[in-house]
């Protein structure tokens, strides 16, 4: 499992993020406070506080490099 901080502060970013990760056969969790939601769920993402960075857990052993390249525009440095 890999964990990164991402920022989804606009509707377009949320749509682009979900489109990018749905191409992978892996599990993705977004964690904000005590809430954990499926990162492939647009409705779930909009239930979170998007004004600050969110923790993304990537449950994949094989496609990690490709996943990181796909989500690079959303990662908070």
Average pLDDT over residues 62-67: 91
The pLDDT, as a whole number, for residue 61 is: 87
Q: Cα separation of 57 and 5, whole Å?
A: 9
- Closest-CA residue to 3 (of 71, 62, 56, 63): 56
pLDDT exceeds cutoff 90 at 63: no
Percent of the chain exceeding pLDDT 70 equals 100
Q: Is the pTM of this model over 0.85?
A: yes
Computed on alpha carbons and rounded to an integer, the radius of gyration of the chain in Å comes to: 11
3-state secondary structure at position 48: coil
Residue entry with tokens 């959303």: 74
């Amino acid at each position: 499992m890999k964990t990164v901080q991402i920022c989804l502060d606009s509707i377009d970013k949320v749509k682009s993020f979900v489109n990018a990760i749905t191409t992978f056969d892996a599990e993705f969790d977004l964690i904000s406070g005590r809430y954990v939601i499926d990162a492939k769920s647009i409705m779930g993402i909009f239930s979170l506080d998007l004004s600050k960075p969110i923790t993304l857990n990537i449950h994949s052993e094989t496609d990690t490099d490709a996943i990181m390249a796909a989500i690079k525009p959303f990662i908070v440095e």
